[in-house]
Amino acid sequence: MLRAVHAGLLRIFRRLPPAWRLRVVHVLAPTFTVGAICVIDRGDGHVLLVRHSYRDRWGFPGGLLKKGEEAADGARREAREEVGLEIELVGEPTVVVAPEPRRVDIVFRARPDGDDVDLDALRPTSPEILELRWVPRDDLPELQHEAAGALVALARATRATP
């Protein structure tokens, strides 16, 4: 009985105009926020960490995407807004899905764009960031949950690449 009802609803759904189908999906499906995280490596084994004003632990530059914004554009924007750094994205991003907070993070490897930037002179350029620090990858402090998950996802993606 339930299977027949399900099949009937799918036939009705198929006949709906595409815009109505999208509305139905948005009403019935859970919503997620989508963010971009930038793991910025300066080439000597140090990565850029930031301490957000609203978090206790260290994290990476990043944040929520704006409506209609491409993930790569959002990653570049967040790095520029938070630490005043233009970045070059490296390789393909990886994705972390966190079901409980209903958040999807697109994690990018990045490096500073340009050779004339004094990386040690970087300062926070947003009220969201209290401080920033270049830290050796093998000496990371306690990280935010999202930042730790981003590193794990990048490590898995790197191992999976032939």
pLDDT tens, 25-78?
A: 778 877 889 999 999 999 899 999 999 999 999 999 999 999 999 999 999 999
- Report, as an integer, the average pLDDT of 137-152: 95
The pLDDT value given to residue 135: 96
8 CB burial (10 A radius; 0-12, 13-18, 19+):
exposed
DSSP string, 61-123: SEEEPPTT--HHHHHHHHHHHHH---EEEEEEEEEEEETTTTEEEEEEEEEES-SS--GGG--
Tokens 């930031």 -> residue: 50
Contact (Cβ atoms closer than 8 angstroms) between residue 29 and residue 98 = no
Q: Which amino acid, residue 33?
A: T
pLDDT at 18 (0 to 100) = 85
What integer pLDDT is reported at residue 85 of this predicted model?
Answer: 95
- What is the spatial distance between Cα 93 and Cα 37, in angstroms, rounded to a whole number? 10
- 105/63 Cα distance (integer angstroms): 9
Cβ atoms 81, 70 nearer than 8 A: no
pLDDT confidence of residue 119: 81
Query: Rounded CA gap, 158 and 149, in Å?
Result: 14
**Above 60 in pLDDT, residue 161?**
no
Q: What would the mean pLDDT of 13-19 be, rounded to a whole number?
A: 86
> Tokens at residue 64, please?
């929520």
Dist CA 160 CA 162 (whole Å):
6
Q: pLDDT per residue over 70-129, tens digit each?
A: 999 999 999 999 999 999 999 999 999 998 888 999 999 999 998 777 888 889 999 999
